[in-house]
């Protein structure tokens, strides 16, 4: 039986993905482990390997089109298997509903169902498999992740919804139709039987529709650029963060003169090493590298602030994993410096340069940008004096860093000139109260103004 190639789930909240390009075309002979195609998710581009050797047929996955996770995009026929033009394996025999489970009944026409369903993990993440709720379930309960979430929110059972997708898969449209049918049935009940629901909170204001927005502008005065997956995900997560996390903000100023002097001294002392472009310093520290280190050490000094909120418990982290906002074409991403509290400034600097470079080319692995215990967003290089950043769940804090600039300060009753940087800490009030946030920000300020503490 031909081996099925599906669109794998390569990101935690991925429901659909796009094939950015195929590396093999219809009829090409491929070997197991060869790169078949590249997936573009909201945060990265990942190469998907061939799960078997043979001839690539029935390539149904189109480039630059949203495809549900788990959807077949092609089939690989072994050298001894017969390929009938225009026929897909789905048309010839049903797929066994469970991985590794033999069908109890022979398929019509004498075809033997396959013993397993192949899965093509990305080469960067060997061994990743779809979640149990997507593939390892009965035929009558096949559904896309989005359809499952919508059904759960509407109080419907997936097993009771008729699917219109491949092999009966329940799609978003099927759930929406079931919700509409349920509403119509409720309206048809006698008045005494209609359940009365008392809303627990006022309904959220409904945003303007696309048509309402476009009517405000003269036709021909604009062009429409469709959202890509990254922009959709950023929009969804920002709305979720601002809607569900009670933000509050703390701002203070840090003097940078001692830090800048130490940075200059450390960079001047960097050993030289040979590279393809000649000799270069082993490291070149930036102010942001030292901000990352100071934030990590501040969290370890105030461990109660190094936490994440869950409904059942407070998650207290044992290390400081600092996410750093990196601007990339079409959006941003936060690669994470793991155990930043334990790493030297030179290691943080070189690791950050590597992560930022691969982030801009969308070559990060999911474990390099998922998770973390806090984040840093720096707009100082654009001359921004101060701003407030939006918390990125599951973090409870994020530090917004402004530009360092010369300002007049009062010292011992005299006006002096100092290089000052304004920082704003956004906190999740459920996990970090005002006094605790102030303690964290005070610890950060002490490290920035006395940077030798980051070297010991």
User: Between helices 345-360 and 287-301, what is the axis angle to 10°?
Assistant: 110
The strand order across the sheet containing 247-255 reads: 247-255, 414-428, 397-411, 374-378, 322-324, 336-337
Residue 427 phi/psi, 5-degree rounding, is -130, 150
Taking each continuous run of H as one helix and of E as one strand, the counts in the chain are: 9, 20
Torsion of CA 408, 411, 412, 415, to 10 degrees: -10
Handedness of CA 295, 299, 300, 302 (dihedral sign): positive
User: Between helices 434-449 and 287-301, what is the axis angle to 10°?
Assistant: 130
Q: Are 22 and 35 in contact (CB under 8 A)?
A: no
Residue 380 phi/psi, 5-degree rounding, is -60, -35
Residue in the block written with tokens 């978003």: 172
Cα–Cα distance for residue pair 138/103, rounded to 1 Å: 12
Q: Which residues of 348-360 are buried (b: 16+ CB within 10 A; e: fewer)?
A: bbbbbeebbebbe
Cα distances (Å, whole numbers) of residue 113 to 93, 99, 120, 164, 242? 6, 12, 20, 22, 49
The rounded Cα 72 to chain-centroid distance in angstroms is 23
Cα–Cα distance for residue pair 117/103, rounded to 1 Å: 13
Selected catalytic residue, list 247, 319, 339, 429: 429
Residue in the block written with tokens 């994020």: 398
Residue 165 phi/psi, 5-degree rounding, is -80, -175
Closest CA to 300 of 423, 452, 427, 439: 439
Task: Identify whether 319 is a catalytic site residue.
Answer: no
Cα–Cα distance for residue pair 72/392, rounded to 1 Å: 33
Query: Which residues are tagged catalytic?
Result: 429
């Amino acid at each position: 039986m031909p081996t099925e190639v599906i669109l794998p789930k390569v990101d935690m909240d991925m429901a659909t993905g796009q094939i950015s390009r195929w590396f093999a075309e219809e009829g090409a002979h491929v070997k197991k482990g060869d790169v078949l195609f590249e997936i573009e998710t909201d945060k990265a581009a990942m190469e998907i390997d061939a799960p078997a050797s043979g001839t690539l047929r029935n390539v149904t996955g189109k480039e630059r089109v949203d495809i549900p996770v788990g959807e077949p995009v092609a089939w690989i026929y072994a050298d001894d298997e017969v390929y009938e033009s225009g026929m897909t394996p789905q048309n010839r025999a049903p797929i066994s509903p469970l991985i590794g489970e033999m069908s109890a009944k022979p398929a019509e026409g004498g075809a033997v169902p396959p013993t397993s369903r192949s899965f093509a993990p990305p080469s960067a993440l060997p061994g990743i498999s779809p979640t149990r709720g997507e593939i390892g379930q009965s035929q009558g309960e096949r559904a896309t992740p989005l359809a499952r979430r919508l059904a759960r929110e509407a109080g419907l059972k997936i097993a009771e919804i008729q699917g219109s997708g491949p092999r009966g898969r329940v799609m978003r449209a099927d759930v929406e139709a079931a919700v509409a049918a349920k509403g119509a049935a409720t309206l048809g009940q006698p008045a005494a039987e209609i359940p009365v629901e008392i809303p627990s909170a006022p309904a959220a204001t409904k945003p303007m529709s696309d048509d309402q927005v476009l009517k405000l502008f003269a036709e021909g005065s604009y062009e429409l650029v469709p959202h890509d997956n990254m922009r959709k995900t950023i929009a969804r997560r920002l709305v979720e963060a601002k809607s569900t996390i009670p933000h509050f903000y703390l701002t203070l100023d840090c003097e940078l003169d001692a830090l800048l002097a130490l940075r200059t001294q450390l960079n001047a002392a960097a050993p030289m090493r040979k590279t393809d472009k000649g000799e270069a310093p082993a490291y070149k520290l930036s102010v942001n590298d030292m901000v990352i280190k100071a934030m990590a050490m501040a969290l370890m000094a105030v461990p109660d602030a190094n936490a994440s909120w869950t409904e059942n418990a407070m998650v207290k982290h044992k290390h400081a994993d600092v996410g750093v906002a990196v601007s990339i074409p079409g959006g941003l991403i936060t690669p994470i410096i793991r155990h930043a509290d334990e790493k030297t400034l030179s290691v943080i600097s070189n690791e950050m340069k590597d992560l930022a470079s691969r982030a801009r080319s969308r070559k990060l692995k999911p474990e390099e940008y998922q998770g973390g215990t806090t984040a840093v967003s720096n707009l100082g290089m654009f001359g921004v004096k101060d701003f407030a950043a939006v918390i990125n769940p599951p973090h409870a804090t994020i530090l917004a860093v402004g530009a360092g600039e010369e300002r007049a300060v009062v010292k011992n009753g005299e006006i002096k000139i100092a290089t000052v940087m304004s920082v704003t800490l956004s906190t999740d009030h459920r996990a970090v109260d005002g006094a605790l946030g102030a303690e964290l920000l005070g610890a950060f300020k002490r490290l920035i103004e006395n940077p030798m503490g980051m070297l010991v």
